[in-house]
Chain A
């Protein structure tokens, strides 16, 4: 299935901003970050289609996963 992955801040270093990933059915967000070489502890904000997501959530066709390291502002 096709899943869009959007990377932000330092996750972009050495990677593209937006990736189309072809994943097996029932792949989870954990599979996505493993494939990208991102450690669980590095992920501070994880959104699936703009809503709070979890690493164990199985993805479906055309989901968009957005990943941020710890960042903040005001």
Chain B
């Protein structure tokens, strides 16, 4: 008895057929589930050299063993595939309720193969799986498409869909679910669009079994208490959402502004969590079984809308990164990203890059189609997001992401990205450990897979000096390994503010009958991390790409509390490679791979 359903739903879109297979539980446990299992399944079935937008690429939609259980935040799922944006592995995580519903329908994993001849969508009601004509859905934005499908499904069905951006193969396209939740990064929406797949609707009726109801109840109770009592998960996030970070990051002088040209934004408070909560918040919007409820629901008065509100990353990407200080304009940009199905981080950062290209005279006024592109323009972030979503005019070039956009104008160094994935909302010049995470994340410029902001800025679990190097490589490795575990279990990363490795051991063992210790569970995380690295190497990603944009290595932050710092990556990377058992060339060595069972 365990909370793995033990079933894979494999769908071939060309043949319009499906089959249900048994999940190899030994394999599942070795790689846990979610991110780890998805990576392993991909490596078993697809050559990492595959063209990401070709029919030969596959989409692995993978829940974790704890998805759909009673464990707090147990609702997450992972989309694992090859990224058309970065060429690395894509493992894009989403919350909401869809993942839990897939488990209730009886499946751990969906594998989508090949490409449909015409647009289709999939409906799943337990064992009843149908592949249907999507000609009346193709071209529709996320809310409308979701509503149409919902109307024909049983009550309380959950809908996953792409918007027009995915259909148009934008490299920043997201896969959306439950209206405003996103598997956002790495262009996974374009992979789905390249397969002519519009949506997957799910309704399930099973309860997830567990190994020991009694032990799980006890372990859950410990976790709930910790979550409720911790300041971050029990007070800060519920009250302000992730937006609370705006003022924190700005006060530290590491709030990237105007495409990382500087790192302190005078008007930060006007786009902060405090402002959103006090003036615009309608209610919290929690995911499945989540007591933290960081999600926001806000009012956009002049559009007559009540919609999902922006996360911290979004407030940054469309706010200070573009020099914009009007929070309502950011609500609108966020709304358009949700409607077209786009990653808010990459889109905001790409518009910021375009603003710098325009500022420096690379992009000319004639190319703008009458839409402004200056830093600070509210209209720019609202209009260009839509033009990207529709692939219209210069928006079609922007839809390729900031790296390819800047490369078109001969200045790729103006793209603030790593491995072509746009960097998120923290300036690494003032946060040494976090910069190492950016450079070494397996999917490119990602903050969340080794969130060093936690110790270096927030002081959780303990306070580190953000300017120093000592011990940082070890911290980054541990955070990356633990994050791989959480991403594979199907839980939300925010639990890690309150819960420790031992807590994850307890809930996993109770739910699945595994016999993990902290050591063995973190080793599984390290195994997953190494496997992702192997994927990237086989895909042709050169370890020389474990770097940061030149601006962040050479140009000191010009003003504010972190004035004068650069990122000292070359002093951190060698120690990091050694800790991971990788050679000086960044390639995992055989003895470490063997030790990890790879």
Listed in ascending order, the chain A residues whose CB lies under 8 Å from chain B are 6, 8-10, 12, 17, 44-45, 47, 49-52, 66, 68-74
Interfacial residues of chain B within 470-503, with CB under 8 A of chain A in the complex: 493-494, 497
Q: Are A72 and B561 in contact (CB under 8 A)?
A: no
Known pairs A9-B247, A52-B463, A74-B493. 17 more at Cβ < 8 A?
A12-B274, A17-B269, A45-B459, A49-B561, A50-B562, A52-B465, A69-B235, A69-B236, A71-B232, A71-B248, A71-B458, A72-B242, A72-B494, A73-B243, A74-B242, A74-B311, A74-B313
Query: CA of A50 to CA of B465 in the docked complex: distance in angstroms?
Result: 12
User: Chain A residues with Cβ under 8 A from B231's Cβ?
Assistant: 44, 69-71
Identify B451's interface contact among A44, A52, A69, A74, CB under 8 A: A74
- The closest CB in chain B to the CB of A18 belongs to B269
What are 13 A-B pairs at a CB distance below 8 A? A9-B240, A44-B458, A47-B561, A50-B561, A52-B463, A52-B465, A52-B466, A68-B248, A72-B232, A72-B236, A73-B243, A73-B294, A74-B312
- The closest CB in chain B to the CB of A42 belongs to B231
Q: Are A74 and B494 in contact (CB under 8 A)?
A: yes
Q: Are A9 and B273 in contact (CB under 8 A)?
A: yes
User: Chain B residues with Cβ under 8 A from A73's Cβ?
Assistant: 236-237, 241-245, 294, 311-312
Chain B residues touching A, range: 35 or more
User: Chain B residues with Cβ under 8 A from A68's Cβ?
Assistant: 247-248, 251
Residue B454 at the A interface, CB < 8 A? yes
Query: CA of A45 to CA of B455 in the docked complex: distance in angstroms?
Result: 11
Residue B233 at the A interface, CB < 8 A? yes
Query: CA of A68 to CA of B245 in the docked complex: distance in angstroms?
Result: 10
Query: CA of A50 to CA of B561 in the docked complex: distance in angstroms?
Result: 5
Residue B549 at the A interface, CB < 8 A? no
Most chain A CB within 10 A, of B242, B251, B447, is at B251
Residue B94 at the A interface, CB < 8 A? no
Identify B252's interface contact among A6, A47, A69, A74, CB under 8 A: A47
Residue B230 at the A interface, CB < 8 A? yes
Q: B423: shortest Cβ distance to chain A, in Å?
A: 15
Residue B253 at the A interface, CB < 8 A? yes
- Type the 1/0 row for B558-594, where 1 means its CB is closer than 8 Å to any CB of A: 0011100000000000000000000000000000000
Q: Are B244 and A9 in contact (CB under 8 A)?
A: yes
Query: CA of A51 to CA of B562 in the docked complex: distance in angstroms?
Result: 8
Q: B360: shortest Cβ distance to chain A, in Å?
A: 29
Query: CA of A23 to CA of B325 in the docked complex: distance in angstroms?
Result: 33
Query: CA of A17 to CA of B460 in the docked complex: distance in angstroms?
Result: 25
Q: Are A50 and B236 in contact (CB under 8 A)?
A: no
Residue B539 at the A interface, CB < 8 A? no
What are the 5 A-B residue pairs with the smallest beta carbon separation, nearest first?
Answer: A50-B561, A70-B231, A71-B236, A72-B232, A73-B242
Query: CA of A74 to CA of B561 in the docked complex: distance in angstroms?
Result: 22
Most chain B CB within 10 A, of A10, A68, A70, A74, is at A74
User: Chain A residues with Cβ under 8 A from B454's Cβ?
Assistant: 72
Interfacial residues of chain B within 267-283, with CB under 8 A of chain A in the complex: 269, 273-274
Q: A72: shortest Cβ distance to chain B, in Å?
A: 3
Residue B334 at the A interface, CB < 8 A? no
- Type the 1/0 row for B434-460, where 1 means its CB is closer than 8 Å to any CB of A: 000000000000011001001001111
Residue B417 at the A interface, CB < 8 A? no
Interfacial residues of chain B within 250-275, with CB under 8 A of chain A in the complex: 251-253, 269, 273-274
User: Chain B residues with Cβ under 8 A from A71's Cβ?
Assistant: 231-232, 235-237, 240, 244-245, 248, 458
Q: A47: shortest Cβ distance to chain B, in Å?
A: 5
Residue B239 at the A interface, CB < 8 A? yes
User: Chain B residues with Cβ under 8 A from A66's Cβ?
Assistant: 251
